[in-house]
Structure 1
Amino acid sequence: MLGYGSQSQLVKRGARQNMSVYDDPRALDGLRSLDSQAIGAIYDKYFSEVYRYVRYRISDDVTAEDIASDVFMRLLEAVQKRQGPQSSLKGWLIATAAHAVNDHLRRQYRRPVEVLSESLPDHGANVHSEVDARERNRMVQSAYAQLTSEQQHVLALRFGQGYSVEETALHLKKNINAVKALQFRALASLQRQIAEVNYE
C-alpha cells in the first residue's frame, strides 16, 4: 500500500505527464517562440504522416525522407518570417509537402533519371512473378506520373494518408462532390493508361 508521500509524488508525476501531452494550440505557441521542446514535439507527431504522404507520391525512400525533412525546415523558416501556420498545423505541413513534391517532380521532369535497383532478383522459381510485379509497379508509377498534380494530391491524401472524402475536401478547400469527381477521374485515367500499355 502506498503512503501519503508516495501518493503525492505520483499525483505530481501524473500532472507533469499531462502537461507534456501534445496539443496543437500549445505547440503552435511554442513554435512561434522557437521553443525547442515544442519543435521536437511537432516533429515527432507529424513527421511520419508527412513522410507517408510524400512517399506515396514519390517512389524513392531516400528522396521522400529528404523532402519530408525539408518540409519541417520550411516550417521553421516560415515561422521566423511570421508566415507560419495560424491554426491547422497538420494542414499546413501536408500542403507544404504537396508543394515540395510538385517542385521535385518538376525538376525530375526536366532531367529524368533512371534508377537501377540495388538488389538482384532471386534466380529461383519466383523470377517470373518478381519480374511481373516489377513491371506492374513500373506501369502504375508511369501512369501515376501522367496524372495532374491535383489528381496525384487527391489520391495521395485518400489512399496514402487514409483521409476520408470529407477530410480530403476540407484539406483541399473543395466540396465533397468535387473531390469525388477528381478521385474518379484520376482512377479512370490510371486504369485507361494501364490498359493502353497492356494492349500494346
Structure 2
Amino acid sequence: MLKKTTIFILIFVLAFSSMALAKNTDTQKLEAAERLVAMGIITGYGDGSLGLEDNLTREQFATIVVRLLNKENEVDKYKKDSIFKDVKKEHWSAGYINIAANEGLIVGRGDGTFNPLGNITHAEVQTILVRLLGYESTVDQSKNWPDNYLEKAKELNLSINSELDNLSPALRGDIMLYIDKSLIVKLSR
C-alpha cells in the first residue's frame, strides 16, 4: 500500500510540475508578445488576439524584421519586383521582403524564389536574428547551415528550447521569445 501511495504522489507531483512549467513557458510567450506589441514590432489579429499557437509565414517575418530595423517608413520606396521571381511589386509584402533582402538578412530558396507564404522555421528565425544583430561574420563557415547559425544563436542566448526541431515551422509564440531575447543582445555592428 505504501508503494502505491508513493507512486501516486510522485505521479501527482510530476503532473502538476509539468503543467506549471508549460504555463510558465506560455506566460513567457505572452509577456514577450505583449512587449513587442507595445513597441510596435508585432501586431495581433483584428480581434485583438495574438495567435501565439499559429504559424508565421516568411513574408510576415520579413515584415517584423523591417520593423526591428526601424525601416517601415521606407517600404513604399522598395515596392518593386524583387530578386525573387515569386515576389512581384504588387504583392503587399514586396517592400518588406526587398528591404530585408537588401540588408542581407534574408535569402531565397536557392532556386530564385523566396516562398513568401511558406512557414518560417526555427532555424530561419535564428539565422535572420544572428544576421540582424551583426554576428554573421563570426559564424563558423566551415560548418553547414543551419548548424553554424544555430551554434551562434545558442552562444548569443537566442535559443529557446533544445528539444525543438529547428527545421520545423516556428509558432508565433516561439518567435516572440526569439525576438524578445534578441533585444538584450549587444549589437556587433
Query: Given the two structures, how large is their TM-score scaled by the length of structure 2?
Result: 0.26
Structure holding more helix per residue: 1
Query: Given the two structures, how large is their TM-score scaled by the length of structure 1?
Result: 0.25
